[in-house]
Structure 1
Amino acid sequence: MDHAFAFAGAHLRAMACGALHWPDQRLLVVSDLHFGKSARLARRGGALLPPYETRETLLRLDQALEVTGAQRVICLGDSFDDLQAEAELEETDRLWLIRLMAGRDWIWIAGNHDPGPGHIGGSHRSDMRLAGLTFRHMAETPGGEVSGHFHPKARLAGQSRPCFLIDGDARLILPAFGAYTGGLWCGATALDAVMGPGALAVLTGPRALPLPYAAACQSSPRSSSLAR
């Protein structure tokens, strides 16, 4: 159900759930969890959403860890919807997250929503280098770079599906893993700027579905804004 591919010498799997698995490193990578988004919107007078997105995201993360048996986790930034969101986690959600972290090497990469170090444990870094790959929140320097931030998505059979974007050995952009996250359509100016013409989109959903990036662009509405 996943899509296996080679990237800058690493053998990776784009999981249908939106996580990246590196079996040789026993590593799971997720991006843009946006824990606490509904609370942040309510606090700032925005749309009132049912406050269940953190629990749904934790459930999917729990399942991905169970399936892969990963002993190391990298969260590629925007793990919390803002710096206050970590402090406002419901106790049941906090304990669930702490249980998932227990016994694992857990790395939080800083994002634009959560630029400061948290207090929930794990390691907090601006970026990370591992076995030839560089992990950071936003695409900067091509060459074995794994990032998030853009929440890429494409349309298939009339439905919006988050997707991975893979540009040879240069860049790999992960979809947003969190519930209630918006996205940037393939073909948006910001994505075209960092993806080459031969890039691949891997759509998530019931199974991981690889498509040429150009085909994903043609099937998606043109929009330059990132719904957050």
Structure 2
Amino acid sequence: MVPLSFANQEFALTTSGALFWRAESALLVADLHLEKSSFYAKHGQMLPPYDSRETLERVAEAIRETGARRVFTLGDNFHDNEGSARLEPHAAGMLSALTRAVDWVWITGNHDPHMGAKAGGTIAEELEIAGMVLRHEAKRGETRPEFSGHYHPRLQLHVRKRFIRRPCAVVSRSKTGGDRIILPAFGALTGGMDAKDPAILDAMQPADRIDAVLPAAGKLAQFPLWRRAA
């Protein structure tokens, strides 16, 4: 877990891709995509049906690591609206235990805009807490501090003839508006988009600078993605 200054507050980014909001004792995670494997199985592509267990184990570990008393998920919690109904008993028990142990809020996404209440916790389309907006997809032109997911950003680098891809957060900073951050996908069965993809850079405007950040060797590594021309 490494410190991250954001919107004049102190946060911590875990190696698993969760963000701990110290002032709110809250853990933010994006794009769990629970029951993705069972969704594909319904359509004839058989995958090992344990992705939900692995993802929920990672959430539980992040809660233990940070001591969070609240959890906010930033959309695409399930891979589809019926995902919560397909949870097998073990995973359903894990999720029930987690939503009882902490104050749990699901923010819905494009994959699960009408997810049911069976999973426990409470459901919202988006929230504003302490002046910061929590939503699934970054809103171009937003000038308040914002947390989002949706894009599954990954840093892609060529280092010593090796191609490296790592999940990362994308942070934009602006002198005229709020800082904004896109979290990496947290789910065990999720892919990713190049962090410097034009769709991500456009969604984070207005900005003076946009960086990819991720924990590395116990420190916050930062890689420039975009800079406003002088």
- Mark yes or no: TM-score above 0.5: yes
Residue 186 (structure 2) aligns with: 177
Q: Say if 2:39 is the partner of 1:28.
A: no
Q: d(CA) in 2 for partners of 1:207 and 1:183?
A: 23
Residue from 165, 172, 179 that aligns with 1:160: 165
Residue 123 (structure 1) aligns with: 122
CA contact (8 A) 1:16 1:207 kept: no
- AA at the equivalent of 2:225: A
**Unaligned regions of 5+ residues in structure 1, if any?**
216-228
* C-alpha RMSD over aligned residues: 1.8
CA shift digits 1:22-77 (9 cap, x unpaired): 112110000000000111112123x4321221111111111000111111100001
Residue 190 (structure 1) aligns with: 199
Which deviates the most, 197-206 or 149-158? 197-206
Q: d(CA) in 2 for partners of 1:201 and 1:135?
A: 19
Label 1:104 to 1:181 Cα distance change in 2 as closer, same or farther (>3 A).
Answer: same
CA shift digits 1:7-27 (9 cap, x unpaired): 223211121110000112110
**Tell me, what secondary structure is at the counterpart of 1:55?**
helix
Q: Say if 2:152 is the partner of 1:151.
A: yes
CA contact (8 A) 2:4 2:220 kept: no
Q: d(CA) in 2 for partners of 1:197 and 1:48?
A: 45
CA contact (8 A) 1:161 1:205 kept: no
Which deviates the most, 125-134 or 9-18? 9-18
Residue 218 (structure 1) aligns with: none
Q: Aligned-pair distance for 1:155?
A: 2.4
Q: d(CA) in 2 for partners of 1:95 and 1:75?
A: 18
- AA at the equivalent of 2:152: H
CA contact (8 A) 2:37 2:48 kept: yes
Q: d(CA) in 2 for partners of 1:96 and 1:106?
A: 14
Q: Aligned-pair distance for 1:207?
A: 5.0
Q: Aligned-pair distance for 1:214?
A: 2.4
TM alignment of 1:133-152, pairs within 5 A = 133-140=132-139, 141-152=142-153
- AA at the equivalent of 1:26: S
TM alignment of 1:193-212, pairs within 5 A = 193-195=202-204, 196=207, 198-203=209-214, 207=218, 209-212=220-223
Residue 42 (structure 2) aligns with: 43
Q: d(CA) in 1 for partners of 2:193 and 2:130?
A: 30
Q: d(CA) in 2 for partners of 1:41 and 1:176?
A: 18
Q: Say if 2:55 is the partner of 1:54.
A: no
Residue 222 (structure 1) aligns with: none
Structure with more strand by fraction = 2
- AA at the equivalent of 1:121: G
Give the fraction of aligned pairs with identical amino acids, expressed as a percent.
39
Residue from 94, 97, 109 that aligns with 2:95: 97
**Unaligned regions of 5+ residues in structure 2, if any?**
none
**TM-score normalised by structure 2 residue count:** 0.86
CA contact (8 A) 2:2 2:215 kept: no
Label 1:34 to 1:207 Cα distance change in 2 as closer, same or farther (>3 A).
Answer: farther
CA contact (8 A) 1:14 1:208 kept: no
- Choose 1 or 2 for highest CA Rg: 2
- AA at the equivalent of 1:143: R
**Tell me, what secondary structure is at the counterpart of 2:101?**
coil
- AA at the equivalent of 2:172: D
Which deviates the most, 193-202 or 111-120? 193-202
Q: Aligned-pair distance for 1:192?
A: 1.9
